[in-house]
Amino acid sequence: MGNAGRKSLSNLWTSRKKNGTLVSSYRYVPPTMEDWKLQKGDLLEVIGETEQWFYVRKLSLRSSKSRRHREKRGYIPVEFMKRVTNLEAQPWYFGNVTKRLRAKRHLLKKENSEGAFLVWKCAKENQYYLSVRCGGNVKHYKIKEVSGSFFLVSSKTFPTICALVESYSRDPGVLCQKLKKPCLKVKKQPSSVGRKDKDWEVDRGSFVKVEKLGSGEFGEVWQGVLNDTVEVAIKEFKAKNPDILNEIEIMKQLHHERLLKLYAVCTRDEPVCLITEFMKNGTLHRYLREHNEMKDIEFPRMVNFAIQIAEGMAFLEAKKIVHRDLRAENVLLDDSGCCKIGDFGLAQSTSSGEQEILMSTKLPVKWMAPEIFRGSKYTVKCDVWSFGILLHEIVSFGEEPYLDQNKAFCVKAVQKGYRMPKTPNCSQFLYDVMLLCWRSNSVERPGFVELQDKLKAAVQEPVLEEKERNTEEKDCTTSL
């Protein structure tokens, strides 16, 4: 910024009142020594401004005790700043969260501790909520707005949501817990949306295999690193064949948070490699087996697993893709315990007609719908049947379906109407959902969107309206 511009802006400052508080959106390295460096998230008080520059002084938690620190001033480009009154600038505001269940998932990630919180806006109600982690649960508080004031309880109002958060960070008041650290925001992974075919292909030297995770008839799976920065899983095939190329083409279409993300491929020579995001907690099946002895996975968490899987399958259904191998072994858990569906080796698009499936000893017979054994074509309702078997895996802590029975028995029994009985620890609600998935007539089975809605209804936290309670905690909703 030139001296004339600085003088003009300085004069503007002397004739103006304080213009509010800003937060830096980016790290800023100034072009001259007269300006000063800015870190993302720094709080700044506006002294003056033009169309392109703010003249500011830097604030900090120590500013009230250190006048020298408070008086540090400088010039910052307008595009590097956001008003603090803008919720998008706040580290605790999650603009991508529109439902209580999503807020709960974020807060229950292991990186967050007691008192972690976030603010989000319910898309359906056009209503702001404050969600707070209390131990292993999350409580949601409706932020009401009347005549420009915001409040949790009518006896304590605030001019902005920012002021409300600041107050409850000092004194918990009606909250279950004083607000501490904002909920951790997960770093974005490499985007795969809108890529051209040539952009998926990478050189073999761009990734490194670090640790072998497993092997099978197809080849090996490795933990590795892509471009020296991104932790990945590398699926290495022994030989190129049409099935591998089909799996790659299917995965290029999958852009959903509940489906394993493809990062890159290496197909120019052998061995062919398929490079995906790395799921640190392994398979859902392994997780369930690890908890089999203690039986310590609570009902809401079981249903939450099922909801996430149904979300991913609903996306596949909308894209007219059948998975054909849906089971706990092919559902993966990330480092926060969220589910992603993987292994699309048998997946097919049905856009050009329903698909047949060849019978083989390698196929997951115990997860297959009875109509497949009669030679019918594979449809999404066959995936729904498999989803019912997967629900049984979840409630039985990874127990094999039709335990102690061979594949031949299963093929004959399910065609005659046999269904697995309800396990002792299975709720009647979940067993009823299984039976819906196992209806003999595939047309009568629900779709994945309907299954998703049914499961969400089972764990939906109730909202307690003001008229229902007379205490100051009347607007709190507690997770089940």
Summarize the annotated binding site for ATP as residue ranges.
235
Tokens found for residue 233: 């899983």
Amino acid at 125: E
| β 230-237/273-277 pair status | antiparallel
Longest dimension (CA), the chain: 89
- Catalytic residue, chosen from 35, 42, 325, 475, is 325
Residue count (the chain): 480
Per-residue HEC secondary structure of 229-242 comes to CEEEEEEEECCCCH
Tokens found for residue 442: 């595939």
CB 26 within 8 A of CB 14: no
Residue ranges at the known binding site = 235
Cα(69)–Cα(60) distance, integer angstroms: 8
Cα 9 → chain centroid: 45
What phi-psi label fits residue 324: left (phi over 0), alpha (psi between -120 and 50 degrees) or beta? left
Q: What is the Cβ-side half-sphere exposure of residue 459, based on CA atoms within 13 angstroms?
A: 26
Check if 453 is active-site.
no
Q: What is the Cβ-side half-sphere exposure of residue 161, based on CA atoms within 13 angstroms?
A: 22
356: three-class secondary structure by DSSP: coil
What phi-psi label fits residue 135: left (phi over 0), alpha (psi between -120 and 50 degrees) or beta? left
Active site residues: 325
